[in-house]
A and B are shown apart, each in its own frame.
Chain A
Amino acid sequence: MSDPATNDGAKPEAEELVEIEEILQHLEDISFVAHRDTKEALPAIRPFGATVARRWIETARDLFFHDRESGKSFMRHSARLAEHMQTVELWLEQAARFQEWVNSNYALEGFMAQADRVYAAWGEAGEREWAEIGLRWCARSLPDARAYFETDFEKLSGGRGIEGLRALIEPAETLFDERGLTLDAYLEGAPIARNLVGDAGLLSWARRGADLLKAGRSRGEAYFRLESDESLKLLLEALPGFRPRMNGRFLRLVLMAWLDADIPLADSSWKPGEGRPMLETDGRRLFMPAVMDSREEAIVATQHAAAHLAFDTYAQPDVERLFERAGAEHPPLDDKSRITWRPLFAQFEARMFSFQVLFDLAEDLRVNARLAPRIPNFLSRLVELARAHERPEGAAGIYYDFALRAHEALLRGEPQDPRLARMLEPDADIVTAWSVGEELFADDAFPEITIEERAEAYLPGLSLNQSLPVYPQRKRDGSLADFRDHEAHDEHKLEHQKQEEQPQQAPEQAQKDPDADIQTPQQETSGTGGRIGTGIPQPAQVAKRAAPYTPKKDGIPYPEWDYREQRYISEWVNLYERVFDDEDPERAATILSENADTLKRLTRGLEMQRPMRLAPQRKQLDGDELDTEAVIDYIADKKAGLSPKAFIYRRRAVQHRDTSVLMLADMSTSIMARHPGGQGKIVDRVREGMMLFAEAIEKVGDPYAIAGFASKQRDQVNYYWLKDFNEDLNDTVRGRIAGVSGRLASRMGAGIRHSLEAFRRNSSQRRLLLILSDGRPADYDDGGDQRYLHEDTRMAMKEAVDAGIHPFCITLDPSGSEYLPAIFGPGHYTIIDHVDELPRRLPEIYLRLRQ
């Protein structure tokens, strides 16, 4: 060890040795364990020279005095590190630095446990950087540093060396400073998330989590463990490919057009990282994975799955014969009377995967051949897809080629492999497929395959036919016209309720078990019943149906604009529409009597504005009747030698200023603040303003509505109807207006979007959205980033304009001019400086706008 440790006061060797002995002696006096461990490790250090050994034992002692556990960790791992790394100084210095912090023992233990492997993998420079990053975290927070050192470095790097590590940790460092994101939470899911969204998407994924973490610890942690629907959803969105769920209606329309079948689609339980996404069916619905490779594949897959239903793959009599043929008893049913498939394949034991592929291959060929005449481009599309798809390597490729050849032959009308030819005969059915499968199975050309290879062996769009338990079908012979989903729907609803009643599942289980409903331990795959060969075996009795990943659906979902990513996040906000029930009729009466004068003045002005709905249009070029006055003028002009134009008709067409208005009030906590420089609270003036507004518009006769909104994080935005368009202004409504109070935060974008929906029911020519606010849009989970909800509100505004609605904002926030021009655009907002003016100004503003 050429490395001269001289700068640390190297002394003659004899002296060093003496010192080592002294320290050993000292340790012996203090701790038996420390002395023993040091003595055990020392022989491995000594070959690096007396100076190194002396420094090592000093460090061990110091660490031990600093924190016993730290010292023990250091001693325990030293011998191994020295042996594996063939150097001591490097890690010695690094370990010594842990003394800077109290309670750094766990982090040190993690460091000592991994340092040699990092060194072996990435060399000295890599090891230095790895340690340096960790030490920086020690300075930030020890639990985070512990999480860092305890997590396997290969996992952190994602197999991409130090580059991968840097890319993973950088977002966390940024967010620690920005949002106080803790590394231990982050590391739970970041390595997996990185595989899906890439380095570039990691920061925005984590930022969102950090915001949630700030808003609520357990929820944020669930996000990072990839357990909550929100994180999963974001990851799914980042995946490339075609999203059947977003295109569900399209796929259903396709089935309807081709097969006259209205088959419900549902989400399957497939999650990213679980192998190839495939479409499954339980005989009532098609379960679509969240993402498929392409639109073409999704179309082929839905058509193919529908063909299985139409051409009797699951017809009860056939399935019964199939079980008989396979030598099994009649098909075992689960508690929902669904057929479970396992006994069918039990006889093949370890080789069942291979048989399954061949059996499915034969059956797929049969139904595809029957579907082809119905859908002219089905086969050509399937073959094209299969050719474009990468041929799987190894054993699966043999099956893949065989299936592809069979379909190509079918497409071109060429002769089939004689064994498969039987599948094309008119009387072939699922039992024939079984026999053909057996025959192919006996052929040595088809090697054994593993469960992973099995998934690869299928052509794109085709999938395991016997994966889920299936409701037996009646014989359909190609007609799906009577396919009903009512039953399934009812049952689904019932189940949904039941699920809600059940206590929440233990998180670990939800995480690891791809099929979360089957609550049994792992067992031999050759058992009986259940879904077969997915790796997680099933019992013969399934407690309940696989619950696919379903996001919270009880509210009305709205998208939200994320300016950081410059895209909409679909269904991000959950909005609940509620009728406001805090009525206060007494206060309503007080407000009205106190403002009687203002109201009278307003009323007089308003009478002039009443729309004349049946006013005839006079002096028209054509119309229903002559306009006598115009005729007289016309004739008089003519007699006078002029040549007037013949504008002499009267028209009864209705001419009205057809305006409807929705006032949307921000009902966040801030309106409960005290009136600055006046009596009472701001909310008092808001109530008065809304009351006068309602009374005034009532006089004008325009259709109008009043609503309020308040939010508590993204999944709970409440939208309160104070008065709907079709409600009359009665005492209940007045009571509601008088009962308005502030609550929670203001996620304005969602409120606006929901208002647009309400306007959609209204057919007025001019539609005005009047927003009454007292401050910036903000919410608990915006991570303190004001711009986020600003930008979202701006986008919501744009949506309103696109929908032909005129938005206008009235704010009580004196600093409104700082941000309102950016959100609403110049001229689309007004600031009311004196809260007292609000009641009077509100109706005025409306009248000005509607002109």
Chain B
Amino acid sequence: MKNLINRIRGVERDVIEKPGDAGDAPFYKPQGDEIEIFQAAYSKRLPVMLKGPTGCGKTRFLEHVAHTIGQPLVTVSCHEDLTSSDLVGRFLLEGEETVWQDGPLTRSVKEGAICYLDEIVEARTDTTVVIHPLTDHRRQLPLDKKSQIIDAHEDFMLVISYNPGYQTVLKDLKPSTKQRFVGIHFDYPAEDVEREIVAKESGGLDADRVEKLVAAGRKARALKDHGLEEATSTRALAYAGELMQAGLSPRVACRAAMIAPITDDPELIQALEEIFDAHFPESQAA
């Protein structure tokens, strides 16, 4: 009963659900030819690898294209405890007997969805072995525990994201895995594009503040690799914009969205504050 109510309220929905007709595709502003490449790869059902720094729009891009081509999207965020059974499925006990439960990957393969393994290198190495047969001409998913092989649905597509440099050397994808994918490279968008994105995402922040915010963010990016592991991302800029829109002063918003989350290094914090404070002088902050 409760499940039904939740479903009616729209709180709960199945992971594999075609994007409805209602609503537009999530906002995405192309930086280059990434949409064309993806659509070409999709037409041939080739596996795709999205490369690029955190917060530059990889996930948003995928949501956007999935929506435009009308395919369900199953996103699995990989973490270091994620095992192959989390992807493929496992036996559960139900009443008197054991029951097999498909994992998200198996369901995508069976039902023909785009399966997106976000930050795949974070997962345990046994997961990458599972996806190998899916990424070549076989397009099969072996279920060892059930002694079954599942042939992929014709609409199934595998997408992984991969963030070079972010991982340590210990955690790189094997070359044999990498070379199975079509790569699309992402980076932080150009300044004018970024401004448009921040304006849109923040829900109509005025042009003056958007311009300053983006300019400051780009300056802050210069500190990457000087102690800053993650550069100020477009997402962080959008968050800062949203916070400002919600009534926070620009300095507070920048601190909350772009400094506090990424570093604890006091000198870096000072340097970043220096940049944001310069763009948003005290008078305006008040």
B:59-103 near A, CB below 8 Å: 81, 83, 85, 90-91, 93, 98
- B2 contacts chain A at the CB level, 8 A cutoff: no
Residue B278 CB within 8 A of the other chain: yes
Q: Does B267 contact A (CB under 8 A)?
A: yes
Q: Are B98 and A254 touching (Cβ within 8 A)?
A: no
- Which of A250, A258, A376, A380 makes the CB contact (< 8 A) with B267? A250
Say whether A377 faces chain B, with CB atoms less than 8 Å apart.
Answer: yes
Is B219 interfacial (CB 8 A cutoff)? yes
Report, nearest first, the 10 A-B pairs whose CB atoms are least far apart: A253-B271, A377-B278, A250-B267, A249-B267, A257-B222, A376-B278, A257-B219, A250-B270, A257-B275, A376-B279
Establish whether residues A247 and B267, one from each chain, have CB atoms under 8 Å apart when the complex forms: yes
Question: Which chain A residues border B270 with CB–CB below 8 Å?
Answer: 247, 250, 253
Interface size on B, residues (CB 8 A): 25
**Residues of the A chain whose Cβ atoms lie less than 8 Å from the Cβ of B83:** 624
Q: Which residues of B contact A254 (CB under 8 A)?
A: 271, 274-275
Chain A residues positioned under 8 Å from B279 (CB to CB): 376-377
Chain B's interface: helix, strand, loop or mixed, by majority?
helix
Interchain CB contact under 8 A, A377 and B223? no
Q: Are B281 and A377 in contact (CB under 8 A)?
A: yes
Residue of B81, B91, B222, B278 touching A375 (CB-CB under 8 A): B278
Query: A579 within 8 Å of B by Cβ?
Result: no
A249 to B174, CA, bound (A): 37
A547 interface residue per 8 A CB criterion:
no
Q: Mark A278-299, 1 if CB is under 8 A from B, else 0.
A: 0000000000000000000001
Given A250-B267, A256-B226: 6 more A-B contacts, CB < 8 Å: A253-B271, A257-B222, A257-B223, A257-B275, A377-B281, A378-B278
Scan B267-286; emit 1 where CB is below 8 A from any A CB, else 0.
11011101101110100000
Chain A residues positioned under 8 Å from B222 (CB to CB): 256-257, 260
Q: What are 29 A-B interface contacts by the 8 Å CB criterion? A: A247-B270, A250-B270, A250-B271, A253-B223, A253-B227, A253-B270, A254-B275, A256-B223, A257-B223, A257-B272, A257-B274, A258-B219, A258-B275, A260-B222, A376-B212, A376-B279, A376-B281, A377-B277, A377-B279, A378-B278, A624-B85, A624-B90, A626-B93, A626-B98, A631-B93, A634-B93, A646-B93, A648-B93, A653-B81
List residues of A whose CB falls within 8 A of some B CB.
Answer: 247, 249-250, 253-254, 256-258, 260, 299, 375-378, 380, 624, 626, 631, 634, 646, 648, 653
Residues on A with beta carbons closer than 8 Å to the beta carbon of B277: 377
Tell me the bound Cα distance from A380 to B279 in angstroms: 12
Interface contact B271-A257, CB-CB below 8 Å: yes
Chain A, residue nearest B216 (CB): A376
| Residues from chain A with Cβ under 8 Å of B81 in the complex | 653
Measured CB to CB, the nearest residue on chain A to B215 is: A376
Instruction: Check A253 against B267 for contact (C-beta < 8 Å).
Output: yes
- How distant is the Cα of A624 from the Cα of B92 in the complex, in angstroms? 11
User: When A254-B271, A256-B222, A258-B219 are in contact, do A380 and B85 touch as well, CB less than 8 Å?
Assistant: no
**Residues of the A chain whose Cβ atoms lie less than 8 Å from the Cβ of B275:** 254, 257-258
Q: What CA separation (Å) do A648 and B277 show in the bound complex?
A: 56
A380 to B91, CA, bound (A): 68
Taking A260-B222, A376-B278, A376-B281 as contacts, is the C-beta distance between A253 and B91 under 8 angstroms?
no
Nearest A residue to B266 via CB reads: A250
Contacts of A299 in B (CB 8 A): 274
Whether B152 sits at the interface, judged by CB under 8 Å, is no
* Nearest chain B residue, comparing its CB with the CB of A381: B278
The closest CB in chain A to the CB of B85 belongs to A624
Cα separation A249 to B267 with both chains bound (whole Å): 7
Question: What residue in chain B is nearest A299 (Cβ atoms)?
Answer: B274
- Least CB distance from A619 to B in Å reads 14
Shortest B224–chain A CB gap in Å is 10
CB proximity to A under 8 Å, residues B227-286: 227, 267-268, 270-272, 274-275, 277-279, 281
State how many angstroms separate the Cβ of A621 from the closest Cβ of chain B.
12
Most chain B CB inside 10 Å of its own CB: which residue of A249, A646, A648: A249
Could you tell me the distance between the alpha carbons of A624 and B89 in the complex, rounded to whole angstroms?
10
Contact A257 B220 (CB under 8 A): yes
B residues near A648, Cβ cutoff 8 Å: 93
Bound complex: CA A404 to CA B138 (Å): 76
B residues less than 8 Å from A258 (CB atoms): 219, 275
A143 to B83 Cα, complex, angstroms: 82
Closest to B220 in A: A257
Give CA–CA (A260, B221) in the complex, Å: 10
A634 to B281, CA, bound (A): 66
A409 to B281, CA, bound (A): 19
Closest to A375 in B: B278
- Give Cα A249 to B281, complex, Å: 24
Neighbouring B residues of A375 by C-beta, 8 Å: 278
A249 surroundings in chain B (CB, below 8 A): 267
Measured between C-beta atoms, what is the minimum distance from B124 to chain A in Å? 10
Chain B residues within 8 Å of A247, by CB: 267, 270
Contact of B98 with A380 in the complex, beta carbons under 8 Å: no
In the complex formed, the residue of B with least CB distance to A374 is B219
Do the beta carbons of A626 and B278 come within 8 Å of each other? no
Bound complex: CA of A510 vs CA of B251, how far in Å?
Answer: 48
Contact (A380, B281) CB under 8 Å given A253-B267, A257-B274, A626-B98: yes
Which of B83, B85, B93 has the most A CB atoms < 10 Å from its CB?
B93
Q: Closest residue to A634 on the B side, CB-wise?
A: B93
User: How far is A794 from B226 in the complex, measured between Cα atoms in Å?
Assistant: 34
How far does the Cβ of B77 sit from chain A's closest Cβ, in whole Å?
A: 18
Contacts of B278 in A (CB 8 A): 375-378
With a CB–CB cut-off of 8 A, which chain A residues contact B281?
A: 376-377, 380
Nearest CB of B to A245, in Å: 13
- Please, how many angstroms separate the alpha-carbon atoms of A653 and B81 in the complex? 8
* Partner pick for B226 among A253, A380, A624, A631, CB 8 A cutoff: A253
A79 to B226, CA, bound (A): 75
Provide the B40-66 mask, 1 if CB < 8 A to any CB of A, else 0: 000000000000000000000000000
Contacts of A257 in B (CB 8 A): 219-220, 222-223, 271-272, 274-275
Q: Which residues of B contact A646 (CB under 8 A)?
A: 93
Q: With a CB–CB cut-off of 8 A, which chain B residues contact A653?
A: 81
